A and B are shown apart, each in its own frame.
Chain A
Amino acid sequence: MTLSKAKNIDNSYGNAFNLVESYKEIWRFKSFLLNWTKRELEIRYKGSILGILWNFLQPLLSLSIYFFLFSRLLGGEIDNYLIYLYSGIISWIFFLQTISQSPLLFVSGSAILKKIYFPSEILSISVVFSGLINYFISFFIIIVLMFFTEAPFSLNLLWVPLIAILQAFFIYSTVLLISSLTVFIRDLNQIVSTILNMLFFLTPVIYKAEVMVPKYASILNSTPIAAFLTLFRDVIYEATHPSWMVLSWLSLFCFIWYLFCHFVFIKLRSSISDLI
């Protein structure tokens, strides 16, 4: 009987927690994912003279400000402060740029979400992809800076792709959660931006926790964001192998976090288009 084989909206794409089906459907829309990501990267600077260059000029500008303000204060304590600072900023900006877009992701995409069917995860994935691309471009810039500051190089740099993908996975989960929850609780938009502001100072991006607040260093260094920062800094700045401890704990945490976020997203998904 053909009908039993036919796509039943209620079962195959409703509330069922079926990861294989979900990702098969996303794969069918891969061209859209590609085009939408390209749009994400271009859109913010469309019509500006420097265009897409702004994507990594911005982190560079904040780098020079922080360096100007804090190198005298912290430079004595931290060797090659420029690279220490920039490695922190790259990891932090990846997090900041993506998460700050997440609350209004579905609300701003309502024009298409309400009119055309497509897997809505794609909006989250493309935010992460565009962040990932900026991350790698910044990575090449820091390599150049390391060359000029005579920083030590090591083969441990090869760990960067893995660290980036793990962080992207963590961000993707978080974006899924925040974007779908914000549809129900609009206040999250304000809450998230406030938290991001606070997190910047609570994360050892521009400082070293051991130097600034030795008493609370272990707490500040153990948040997931700080953990990603530490991994990245280990291979770039310290030129050492990333800590197996941190790496394995973080992987486990990311996996559980993903399952939780995706579960919430799937529960909420079918109500989203009615509420935006």
Chain B
Amino acid sequence: MNQTDYHSSIAVSFKKVTKIYHQELKVTRLKEILTGIFKKKSQVDKKVYKFDSVSFDIFKGECVGIIGKNGSGKSTALGMIAGITTPTSGEIHINGKVTTMLELGSGFHPDFSGKENIFLNGSLFGMSNYYLTQKINEIVEFSELGNKIYEPIRTYSAGMKARLAFSIAIQTQPEILLIDEVLAVGDIAFQKKCLQKFEEIKKEKETTIIYVTHSMEQVTQHCSRAIWLHNGKLMGDGPPKEISDEYQMFTAP
């Protein structure tokens, strides 16, 4: 593979990415950002490394599972790829349209009907109202909500909400899809349907899927690669079976 091919086949590239959370007072932080004068290290600023000089490349069409215990930096990684939060230092390159499925249905308003929320939430993902009007039947059908779609969201069960949110998000036709534990809600049948949909878009459009989960079974079954994070450091990167075995060895008492 020559240099140009290599670069154009990359979907997400992390180069020595570091993310620090400052524990000092917010007002002090404000002063530092606005004046550009940062305090010397000796002074009281407890830094928490959420992400410590992590580098990896994810290629187009890959399905990558990110594993690690709570607080290991998995969600921070997704947040940085999505552009929700920015790294303190290092470089992130993104090549393609990103759709995030982190805690689906965040933009839902309980008093509005499912249909109104399709437009509200769908446009939040960057889709136009025109496009959503064309896709609305498809969305309602995939969500299996039927006439319930005209009722306010507050009357929905958690599973129904998740189904609707997933059906909306999947319409963005992402090139890079970020998924954070969204399949934990919803019943088994719908989980299966979602996983099937992932397989479909993976094959059809060479969509890159980056997947955060605690289920080793899903990682080994559906992912082509696993990345293991621990306290913001990269611990392993390779075939899912190997990495998940290593991870389980590590976490076992």
Contact = CB atoms under 8 A, between A and B. Distances in A.
A116 B101 CA distance: 8
Nearest to A14: B86
Most buried by B among A34, A35, A114: A35
A112 B109 contact: no
Nearest to B132: A31
Interface residues of B, number: 46
B123 A184 contact: no
Contacts of B92: 8-10
Given A115-B100, A184-B29, A268-B30, A10 B124 contact: no
A185 B30 contact: yes
A32 B126 contact: yes
A267 interface: yes
A117 interface: yes
Contacts of A28: 126
Contacts of B58: none
Most buried by B among A13, A46, A181: A46
Contact of B93 (A8, A32, A184, A274): A8
B126 A273 contact: no
B102 A116 contact: yes
A2 B120 contact: no
B7 interface: yes
A43 interface: yes
A1 B30 contact: no
A116 B86 contact: no
Most buried by B among A36, A112, A185, A268: A112
A117 B82 contact: yes
Given A3-B8, A39-B109, A185-B27, A115 B94 contact: no
A271 interface: yes
B95 A2 contact: yes
Contact of B10 (A3, A14, A267): A3
Given A8-B92, A29-B126, A184-B27, A273 B85 contact: yes
B94 A43 contact: no
A7 B83 CA distance: 10
A116 B84 contact: yes
Interface in B87-129: 87, 91-95, 98, 100, 102-103, 106-107, 109, 111-112, 119-120, 123-129
A8 to B, nearest CB: 6
B149 interface: no
Contacts of A8: 91-94
Contacts of A115: 84, 100, 102-103, 106
Contacts of A183: 26
A47 interface: yes
Contact of A113 (B84, B98, B128): B84
Contact of A9 (B10, B26, B29, B83): B83
Contact of A116 (B91, B106, B112): B106
A186 B26 CA distance: 9
Nearest to A118: B124
Given A1-B7, A117-B82, A271-B29, A10 B126 contact: no
Contacts of A9: 80, 83, 86, 92, 94
B94 A274 contact: no
B107 A111 contact: yes
A267 B83 contact: no
A43 B152 CA distance: 13
B4 interface: yes
A73 interface: no
A50 interface: no
B83 A117 contact: yes
A270 interface: yes
Contact of A13 (B3, B83, B119, B126): B83
B8 A181 contact: no
Interface in A220-276: 264, 267-268, 270-271, 273-275
| Top 8 A-B pairs, shortest CB-CB distance | A32-B123, A2-B8, A184-B30, A31-B123, A115-B106, A3-B7, A6-B95, A270-B86
22 contacts: A1-B7, A2-B7, A3-B7, A3-B10, A6-B94, A7-B93, A7-B94, A7-B95, A8-B91, A9-B86, A32-B123, A34-B123, A35-B120, A35-B123, A43-B109, A114-B106, A116-B107, A117-B98, A117-B100, A185-B26, A268-B30, A274-B85
Interface of A: 1-3, 6-10, 13-14, 28-32, 34-36, 39, 43, 46-47, 111-118, 181, 183-186, 264, 267-268, 270-271, 273-275
